[in-house]
């Protein structure tokens, strides 16, 4: 009996070992279902947009790289970089004592010519009165004809002298204007209110104006931050749908995750044809909220989305889940398998595609399209389960 019992135990142990070996071989040869990332279909807003092909740039509606009209030595530097300045404010001045002296001389000459003209014109008035008195005496036979004609001649000559003195006064006034202009050339004034972005020059340094065709650093770079916009290129195939005033959305690398409202302000009247680049049309999108301008810096890189059309509260899916021919993989929880569905679609952009048929709210579709061997009927496992 003991021998029989031992034999049975050996047979049972061998059977279990065989079963285990068979199970291991079976499972080692079976590939587990792939895991997929799912997205639940919901309702929301879908926009038809046009975006820039390359990074745009924040720019100011007015920016002036100011240079002196004449050369000279910097005598006063009245602002610092970052200063807010008013229109007409003096930013720097050159040494100008010689021109101030010329201005003072011109003022003195003008005053002298005024006094001289006043003196000569008073004498002319007296000569005219004397000629009139002799005319009256001549009519009464109390003055000779010769004396009367001499008085008339003197009066007429005095009148011309008065006019000449007034002309000299005008010449002196024009000379003063010319010296004022020469003196003003030594001052650099702000043509508009703005922020001093850059200063090239120090007190005592010599500055020169830019010769024609030769670019030199500006004395002062002035930026008007009251009006900012983004300039960016749009592919020529999208340009035909654009029109001024379209609402836009601006995003900046400096403020990731934040968007700023804008409006399409300008569409270039020509197409840029640059070598080794797609043909594009430059557009300008202005910031519509004045409050954000204080946060921005000219030169920031920016992207724009120009909104051509908007559909609110519609069925939508992530555009990344839509394959060619508007197909998606829908997950069937009852069978654990994928179903290939061809969608009816409406508006679409980089983020969402509007679904007008063949899906409903709550359906689950596959996002992880990069997995190999996805196919209709394939059993999968949701990655988030």
DSSP string, 57-124: EEEEEEEEEE--SS-EEEEEE---TT-EE-TT-EEEEE--HHHHHHHHHHHHHHHHHHHHHHHHHHHH
Cα separation, 145 vs 140, whole angstroms: 11
User: Contact, 128 vs 155, CB < 8 A?
Assistant: yes
Q: Per residue in 309-344, is it b (16+ CB within 10 Å) or e — as a string?
A: eebeebbbbeeebbeeeeebbbbeeeeebbeebebe
Beta carbons within 10 angstroms of residue 112's beta carbon = 13
pLDDT, residue 18, reads 55
Cα separation, 292 vs 331, whole angstroms: 45
Phi, psi of 304 (to 5 degrees): -130, 145
Phi, psi of 225 (to 5 degrees): -85, 5
Contacts of residue 122, Cβ cutoff 8 Å, sequence gap at least 6: none
Backbone CA torsion sign across 81, 83, 85, 90: negative
187-189 and 90-94 strand pairing: antiparallel
Please give the structure tokens belonging to residue 323. Answer: 């394959």
Backbone CA torsion sign across 135, 141, 143, 145: positive
User: Contact, 167 vs 114, CB < 8 A?
Assistant: no
Contacts of residue 280, Cβ cutoff 8 Å, sequence gap at least 6: 53, 54, 233, 234, 235, 236, 271, 272, 274
Phi, psi of 144 (to 5 degrees): -75, 160
Residues of the chain below pLDDT 70: 1-31, 213, 275-277, 384-385
pLDDT, residue 85, reads 96
User: Contact, 103 vs 240, CB < 8 A?
Assistant: no
Cα separation, 132 vs 135, whole angstroms: 5
Neighbouring-strand partners of residue 44: 314
Question: Which residue, among 341, 383, 269, has the nearest Cα to 35 in the 3D structure?
Answer: 383
| 3-state SS track over 157-180 | HHHHHHHHHHHHHHHHHHHHHHHH
DSSP 315-341: EEEEGGG--GGGEEEEEETTTTEEEEE
pLDDT, residue 293, reads 81
Question: Which residue, among 66, 84, 78, 67, has the nearest Cα to 226 in the 3D structure?
Answer: 84
């Amino acid at each position: 009996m003991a021998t029989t019992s031992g034999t049975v135990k050996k047979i049972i142990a061998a059977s279990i070992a065989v079963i285990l070996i068979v199970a291991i071989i079976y499972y080692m040869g079976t590939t587990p279902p792939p895991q997929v990332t799912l997205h639940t279909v919901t309702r929301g807003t879908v926009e038809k947009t046009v975006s820039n092909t390359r990074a745009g740039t924040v720019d100011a509606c007015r920016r002036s790289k100011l240079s002196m009209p004449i050369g000279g030595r910097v005598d006063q530097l009245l602002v610092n970089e970052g200063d807010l300045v008013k229109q007409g404010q003096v930013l720097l001045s050159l040494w100008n004592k010689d021109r101030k002296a010329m201005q003072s001389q011109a003022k003195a000459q003008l005053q002298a010519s005024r006094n001289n003209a006043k003196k000569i014109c008073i004498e002319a008035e007296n000569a005219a009165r004397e000629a009139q008195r002799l005319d009256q005496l001549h009519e009464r036979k109390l003055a000779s004809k010769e004396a009367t004609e001499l008085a008339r001649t003197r009066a007429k000559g005095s009148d011309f002298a008065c006019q000449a003195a007034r002309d000299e006064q005008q010449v002196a006034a024009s000379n003063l204007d010319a010296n004022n202009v020469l003196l003003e050339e030594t001052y650099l004034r702000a043509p508009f209110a703005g922020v001093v972005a850059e200063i090239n020059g120090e007190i005592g340094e010599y500055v020169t104006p830019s010769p024609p065709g030769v670019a030199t650093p500006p004395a002062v770079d002035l930026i008007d931050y009251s009006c900012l916009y983004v300039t960016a290129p749009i592919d020529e195939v999208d340009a035909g749908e654009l029109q001024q005033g379209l609402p836009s959305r601006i995003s900046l690398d400096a403020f990731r995750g934040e968007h700023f409202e804008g409006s399409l302000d300008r569409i270039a009247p020509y197409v840029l044809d640059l070598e080794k680049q797609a043909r594009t049309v430059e557009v300008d999108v202005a910031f519509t909220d004045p409050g954000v301008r204080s946060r921005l810096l000219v030169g920031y890189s920016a992207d724009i989305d120009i909104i051509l059309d908007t559909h609110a509260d519609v069925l939508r899916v992530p555009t990344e889940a839509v394959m060619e021919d508007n197909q998606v993989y829908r997950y069937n929880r009852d069978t654990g398998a994928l179903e290939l569905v061809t969608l009816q679609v409406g508006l679409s952009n980089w983020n969402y595609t509007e679904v007008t048929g063949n899906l409903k709210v709550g359906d689950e579709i596959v996002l992880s399209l990069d997995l190999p061997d996805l196919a209709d009927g394939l059993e999968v496992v949701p990655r988030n389960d």
